[in-house]
């Protein structure tokens, strides 16, 4: 037991002093999570709209009420401007994402049945231009429809009706612009009805995917350490000490699991406090999923090392396995199952990701435990195969 513990500590300290290893296993996943989470983020950020209302007519109050509607707040944030030139300046400098100027004769035109329009100044971000333009089109469509009614019926009675219903039409336009399926629609990357990120945000999706992917590399580092010590003759010297060989070999492999534990703590902690990733409330089950993944990675790495002729071959083959499993499980491209079918269900990544994402979106624990159960079976099978093949790896060069 003492030999095993000493070897684990030695391996952990050795890995912690290897800067390239720490960069690959700790820094790279954090960077990838940020990049992919930001690129595929589906959250709509409010567009900053510079507004100048020069109209002092009957509809002026309705215009102000329209822009203050609660239904608009998730999509639009108003910045009051002092003039139309001020609106242009804000858009040009980037202070505002979009500019709107209401002409002074807007109410007069609507009340007299003439077509009316606002002056719009699109900004540099097309997605925000589309969102604001959708809101404007909804409002102006209602307003010009009212103007057409005035022109069609004519007379003071039609104008009185238009004036009485101006506020109601303004509110209706604001509400219509934000009804589901109306002018603003929030879609998903696939364009279909299914959520490609499976009920979690983009950054949550990729946080789980790359946590698991880089945990798998811990198994390769353990096996490479084992092969390196054999090549240097360290294992031969340990073998000469009675009762020390097996605990030492087990300690070398366990050192990688200890490194994976540190890796999990750093990635989960950093993404939680810096990126705001919600990992759910069951951290014990999350830790179990990470532990099973690292155990499975050790078993897989030892198995591949037993059939590889050199360290370089083992690295190449293992890297291809990890890359392939990550791709098939959707870790590199959300919605990949549409092209590869159920191939991802035969990978470690798939069941580890399913367990973590189920924790994230707060499903019942029975759903989590089903994924954990399958992951446990995979880890057990791989570690048993690895244990059977371990003498082949160790003794072949001792």
Please tell me the distance from the alpha carbon of residue 111 to that of residue 143, in angstroms, as a whole number: 10
Q: How confident is the model at residue 21 (pLDDT cuts 50, 70, 90)?
A: confident
What is the pLDDT of the chain when averaged over all its residues? 79
pLDDT at 243: 66
**Sign of the Cα pseudo-torsion (115, 121, 123, 128, in order):** negative
Adjacency order of strands within the sheet including 47-53: 76-80, 47-53, 98-102, 119-122
- Which pLDDT tens digit goes with each residue over 66-107? 888 877 777 788 889 888 899 999 999 888 889 999 888 888
Q: Where are the domains of the chain?
A: 2-41+195-395, 47-176
Domain 47-176, architecture per CATH = 3-Layer(aba) Sandwich (3.40)
**Sign of the Cα pseudo-torsion (269, 272, 274, 275, in order):** positive
pLDDT above 60 (res 29): yes
Please tell me the distance from the alpha carbon of residue 100 to that of residue 128, in angstroms, as a whole number: 13
User: Do 257 and 302 meet the contact criterion of CB atoms below 8 Å apart?
Assistant: no
39-43, 116-120, 135-139, 249-253: lowest mean pLDDT where?
39-43
Interaxial angle between packed helices 202-232 and 348-360, expressed in degrees from 0 to 180 and rounded to the nearest 10: 140
85-89, 140-144, 174-178, 326-330: lowest mean pLDDT where?
174-178
pLDDT above 70 (res 169): no
User: Do 178 and 138 meet the contact criterion of CB atoms below 8 Å apart?
Assistant: no
Please tell me the distance from the alpha carbon of residue 215 to that of residue 295, in angstroms, as a whole number: 10
Average pLDDT on 302-331 reads: 88
- Which pLDDT tens digit goes with each residue over 106-131? 888 877 777 778 888 988 887 788 88
pLDDT at 149: 58
Give the contacts of 80 (CB within 8 A, at least 6 positions apart): 50, 51, 52
Strongest mean pLDDT among 37-51, 134-148, 164-178, 293-307: 293-307
Place of tokens 């759903």: 367
Residue 397 tokens read as 């060069």
Strongest mean pLDDT among 25-34, 241-250, 286-295, 341-350: 286-295
Average pLDDT on 137-146 reads: 68
pLDDT above 60 (res 180): no
Average pLDDT on 240-248 reads: 73
Average pLDDT on 188-207 reads: 63
- β-partners of residue 183 are none
What are the residue ranges of helices labelled H in the chain? 2-16, 19-22, 28-39, 60-67, 84-93, 106-111, 126-153, 155-164, 166-176, 202-232, 234-239, 245-273, 283-307, 311-328, 337-340, 348-360, 365-395
User: Which comes out higher in pLDDT, residue 186 or 225?
Assistant: 225
Question: How far from chain centre, in Å, is Cα 34?
Answer: 8
Average pLDDT on 136-153 reads: 65
pLDDT above 50 (res 181): no
pLDDT above 80 (res 142): no
- Listing DSSP states for 332-360 in one string gives SSTTTHHHHTTGGGGSHHHHHHHHHHHHH
pLDDT above 90 (res 293): yes
Give the contacts of 154 (CB within 8 A, at least 6 positions apart): 113
Closest CA to 217 of 151, 148, 179, 267: 267
pLDDT at 198: 62
HEC sequence for 278-320: CCCCCHHHHHHHHHHHHHHHHHHHHHHHHHCCCHHHHHHHHHH
The full length of the chain comes to: 398
Q: How confident is the model at residue 172 (pLDDT cuts 50, 70, 90)?
A: very low
């Amino acid at each position: 037991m003492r030999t095993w513990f000493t070897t684990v500590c030695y391996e952990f300290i050795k890995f912690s002093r290897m800067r390239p290893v720490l960069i690959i296993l700790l820094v790279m996943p954090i960077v990838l999570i940020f990049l992919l989470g930001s690129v595929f983020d589906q959250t709509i950020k409010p567009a900053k709209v510079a507004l100048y209302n020069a109209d002092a007519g009957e509809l002026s109050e309705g215009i102000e009420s329209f822009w203050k509607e609660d239904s608009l707040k998730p999509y639009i944030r108003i910045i009051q401007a002092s003039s139309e030139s001020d609106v242009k300046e804000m858009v040009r400098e980037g202070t505002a994402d979009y500019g709107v100027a209401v002409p002074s004769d807007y109410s007069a035109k609507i009340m007299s049945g003439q077509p009316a329009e606002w002056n719009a100044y699109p900004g540099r971000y097309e997605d925000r231009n589309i969102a604001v333009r959708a809101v404007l089109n909804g409002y102006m469509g209602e307003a010009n429809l009212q103007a057409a009614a005035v022109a069609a019926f004519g007379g003071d009675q039609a104008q009185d009706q238009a004036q009485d219903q101006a506020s109601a039409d303004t509110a209706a336009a604001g509400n219509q612009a934000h009804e589901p399926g109306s002018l603003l629609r929030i879609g998903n990357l696939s364009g279909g009805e299914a959520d490609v990120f499976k009920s979690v945000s983009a950054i949550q999706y990729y946080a789980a995917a790359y946590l698991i992917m880089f945990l798998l590399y811990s198994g390769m580092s353990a096996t490479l350490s084992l092969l390196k010590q054999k090549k240097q003759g360290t294992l031969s010297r340990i073998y000469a000490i009675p009762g020390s060989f097996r605990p030492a070999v087990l300690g070398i492999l366990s050192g990688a699991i200890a490194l994976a534990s540190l890796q999990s703590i750093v990635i989960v902690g950093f993404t939680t406090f810096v990126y705001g990733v919600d990992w759910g409330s069951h951290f014990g089950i999350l830790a179990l999923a990470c532990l099973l993944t690292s155990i499975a990675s050790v078993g897989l790495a030892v198995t591949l090392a037993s059939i590889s002729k050199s360290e370089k071959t083992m690295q190449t083959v293992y890297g291809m396995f990890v890359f392939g499993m990550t791709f098939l499980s959707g870790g590199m491209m959300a919605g990949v199952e549409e092209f590869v079918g159920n191939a991802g269900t035969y990978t470690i990544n798939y069941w580890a990701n399913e367990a973590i994402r189920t924790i994230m979106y707060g499903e019942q624990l029975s759903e989590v435990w089903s994924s954990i159960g399958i992951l446990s079976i995979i880890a057990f099978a791989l570690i048993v195969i690895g244990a059977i093949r371990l003498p082949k790896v160790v003794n072949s060069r001792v």
